[in-house]
Amino acid sequence: MTLDAPALRQALARTPGAHTDGLDVVHTLLCRREAGAFQRAAKATGESGDELLVACTQEQRLFLELNAETEGAAPVHERPIRFVNIRETAGWARDGRAATPKIAALIAAAQLPPAAPVPNVSYRSAGRCLVIGDAEAAERAAAMLADKLDASILIGNSGSSGSALAQVHARATHSGRLTRLNGWLGHFEAEWESTNPIDLDLCTRCNACIAACPEGAIGLDYQVNLQACKSHRDCVRVCDAAGAIDFSRTPATHGDTFDLVLDLRPQPAFSHHQPPQGYFHVAADERRLTTAVLALRELTGEFEKPKFFRYQPKLCAHSRNEVVGCSACIEVCSTRAIRSDASRKGRLKGAEAGGVIVEPHLCVGCGACSTVCPSGAMSFTYPGTVDQGKRLRTLLTAYAQAGGRDAALLIHSEGQGNRLVDELGRAARLDRALQGLPARVLPVGVWHTASVGLDLWLAAIAQGAHQVWVLLTQEDAPEYREALTEQMAVAQALLTGLGYAGTHLRLIEARDARDLAALDHALRAPPAQGVAQAAVFAVQADKRATLELALEHLVAQAPAAPERIALPAAGSPLGNLVLDTAKCTVCLSCVSACPAGALADNPEKPQLKFVEKSCVQCGLCVSTCPEHAIQLEPRLWLADGGRARKAPRVLAEMEPYRCVRCGKPFGTLRAIENMVAKLAGHAAFQGEAAERLKMCGDCRVVDIYSHPNEVRITDL
C-alpha cells in the first residue's frame, strides 16, 4: 500500500472530531512483523487514556490477545480497541495510490463515538427440541442431539414408508400431520393431527402386527398405510398391548411447546424468507443438517439481541377508525413480525386509532419497515438515523477535505456484503482483470442494507455524495429488492427532475465470489452530477424532518427550477391530494382520518384545508371518504420556491346548512341534501321524521320528545 502520512494528517486535522495522533510513523507490515509497534501503542494509550485505532483487520484476534498480555495496556472492557480495514477497501485497489482521501475518510469515520445503546430482547431456551420428519431420519437427527437437548420426534402418518423407528423408546415419539407451528426460540407452539390407528406411546414395538398384516400395510415406523389396509384386523388380534391399535379411534389434535425445531421435511413450515430464530429447515441436505445440529446444540440458556426498531403509534398511517391505509411495513417484512391491528381503539385526540403490532422476538433487524414507512412511525435503531447520518457526513466531509472528488457511497451489509468487498480487494491484487474498489467509492457497512432509505440517501447526496449504491447479496429477501427499487425510483425522479444529470442511485447485486467480475464492473460506473456546495445540516431523528432538510438544499442547489416533479406512485412519501369538488360534501371525515395533520378544517366555517408538505400519501383519506372524492397525486410541488407546499390551502368550502327550526348552522348544504335524498324512501324517515333531518342536534331532541307517541329513531 502507498500511504501518505502527511496528507492523512492534514485531512484529518480539518475533519471535526477526528484525531491525528499516531500518524507520525507509518507501519507498512503491521499484521505480524511489526506487532511490537502495536504493543507500544497499546501501552502508551493505556497510560494516557487515549483511544486506540488499528487500521488493519486481518490480525484483529492476535492484537486483542497481545493487548491482554501487554503490561500497562488497558483491558478492552475499559478502553475498546477499534479496527478499520483500509487495505482491501482502499490500498489494494488498482488506483490505490489515489486512495488517500478515501483512507482519511475511513479513519475519520472509525474514530466516531459508538452509537447509542438500544434495549435488548431476551430469549430463554431449556433445550426442548422437536424433530420433524420421517421415522429413520428423525431418529438419527434426534440421536445427534440427545446428549445436549431434550429431543422429541414427530413423524407423519405414512405407513410402509421404508423408514424405521428405533426399537428402544429412547425419547418421546409422536405421529401425525403438523397443522400449526408458530413462535420463536424458546417459545414454539406446535399442533398436529393424528389419524393413525397405532398409538406410539402404547406400542411395545414387538413387530407382531407387521408380521401378521397380510397386505404389508404396517411399516417399521409403526404406522398403518390406510390406503393399503383391507380391514382384516389381524394386527389387532395379535397385539398384546391393550389399546395400542384401535381403528375406531377418532382423529385427535395434539399440541405442545418447544424451545427449538429441526425440520427434515422437503417443504418448510415457514414459507417466508427469514424463518424464526430457533427453527432450522434442512430437508435431506447432509451439510445443512450438520450445520443445524451444531447450532442447535448450543441453543440452551438465555440469549439477547438488540431491539432493532422503534414504533410510534401516533405517527402510524396504517389505519384509522378501522379503515386501512398504508400497509407498507407489513408487506415488506420478511419475518412476518408485523401484523395489522386496524381494529384497535387508541387515544389519539379522541378518535379511534389503529396501528400495527411488531413482535420483537421475530424481528431480525433488516430495517426495511423503516425504509418504506412514509411517516417515520417505524424507525431503525441499530444504529439510529442520527448516528448513521453522522457517520455518512463524516465520511463525505473527510473525503472532500482530503481533496477527494465525485464520492460514491457503497452501502453493504456487515455480513455477506463485507465479505464480498474484502474478496474483491484481495482478488484485485492478484488478478489483472479486476480493478478493485475505486478510489472514489466509500464503503459503508451497515447491519442490513434495507435499513438505509430515502431520507439518508438524499441527505448524503445533499452533503456531497454524487452517488449512492446499495450492494445486495443472497442474504436479501425479494421483498427488500422490491422496496429498495421503489424507493430509489422516487429518489432518482426527484434528482432528475431537479436537473441533476446522471444515475445517482443503483442496486448492485452480487451473490458470492463468482460475481466478483460483475461487481468490479458495476463499481466502474461514471459519476453523476452532485451539488455545487455540500450541505452542513445534521440528520434528524425524525425521518420527515431529514427529508425536508435534504430537499431544501437540493432544490436550492438545483440546476433546474421546475414547478412540479411527478413521482412514481409506488413508494412515494410526497404528494398532493386531488379533490373532486363536485362530489365532496365537506363532511371532514378525511380530517379525522389523516395521521399526519395534512388535512384540517376551519372552526369558523365549513372548509377543508390541506398542507402538502405534511402529506405522507398513505391513502387513509381516500379509503375514508364516503363520496370517493379524493385521489392521490405523488409529486414534489415547487411553486413559489417550494414555499407553496408548506402553506395551508383550501381544497373545498361550502355554505353551512341552517337548522329549519332555530336557524343555527350545522353541517353543510350538500351533506344535508345528500342525506335527505338517500333516506327519502326509507319508511322510518317520513313526515315529521324526515323534517328532523334538517334540524340541528338540539332541535331534533326537542322535536322527538314533543311527539311522545311517535317511534323514535335514536341513532341519528
The 10 Å Cβ neighbour count of residue 550 is 25
* pLDDT at 3 (0 to 100): 83
Closest to 580 in 3D by CA, of 627, 546, 547:
627
Residue 310, judged by CB atoms within 10 A of its CB (0-12, 13-18, 19+), counts as middle
* pLDDT at 302 (0 to 100): 97
CATH T-level fold of 124-303: FAD/NAD(P)-binding domain (3.50.50)
In the chain, % helix, strand, coil (3-state, to 5) comes to: 30, 20, 50
**Which pairs from 40-44 meet CB under 8 Å and 24+ separation?**
42/66, 42/67, 42/70, 42/72, 42/73, 42/74, 42/81, 43/70, 43/71, 43/72, 43/73
Is 453 within 8 Å of 376 (Cβ atoms)?
Answer: no
CATH T-level fold of 383-548: Rossmann fold (3.40.50)
Q: Where are the domains of the chain?
A: 124-303, 307-380, 383-548, 574-653, 656-705
583 phi/psi in degrees, rounded to 5: -95, -35
* pLDDT at 158 (0 to 100): 58
- Whether the bond between 119 and the residue before it is cis, its omega within 30 degrees of 0, is no
CATH number of 307-380: 3.30.70.20
The 10 Å Cβ neighbour count of residue 368 is 29
Closest to 235 in 3D by CA, of 251, 219, 255:
219
* pLDDT at 708 (0 to 100): 64
Sheet of strand 599-601: strand arrangement: 599-601, 607-610, 649-653
- Asked if 307-380 and 574-653 have one fold, the answer is yes
- How far is the CA of 665 from the CAs of 659, 685, 700, in angstroms? 6, 22, 14
Q: Domain 574-653 - what CATH class?
A: alpha beta
pTM of the model as a whole? 0.88
In which residue ranges of the chain is pLDDT below 50? 160, 346-352, 713-716
Is 122 within 8 Å of 303 (Cβ atoms)?
Answer: yes
Beta strand ranges found along 133-241 (DSSP E): 150-155, 173-175, 177-182, 188-194
**Dihedral of alpha carbons 669, 674, 680, 682, sign:** negative
Is 154 within 8 Å of 176 (Cβ atoms)?
Answer: yes
Dihedral, CA of residue 191, residue 196, residue 199 and residue 200, to nearest 10:
-70
